[in-house]
Amino acid sequence: CMIVIVMLPVVTALTNIILTDNIIDMEDDKQTGRFTLPIIMGREKALLLYNLLYIIGAVSVVIAMLTKSLPYL
């Protein structure tokens, strides 16, 4: 469980980098027939997912500090 809490900020940050790139490229991806998550979900829901992942990553840092999973912070 501790490793999940420690890795969650990294995973959510990397996912958001990819999600951001896919949101930016939505129009080109539609024209070329690619089915990325933002195309399937729509722009608004993809942006909501982006925000949710950001919050989850931030909260997991706080949880990691409170549980002393990250004692050096």
Q: What is the pLDDT of residues 26-47, one digit of tens each?
A: 999 999 999 999 999 999 999 9
Place of tokens 């809490």: 5
Rounded distance, CA 62 to CA 68, Å? Answer: 10
- pTM, to two decimals: 0.84
Rounded distance, CA 61 to CA 4, Å? Answer: 11
Q: Is the pLDDT confidence value at 64 over 90?
A: no
Single out the residue of 26, 9, 25, 19 nearest to residue 47, CA to CA.
Answer: 19
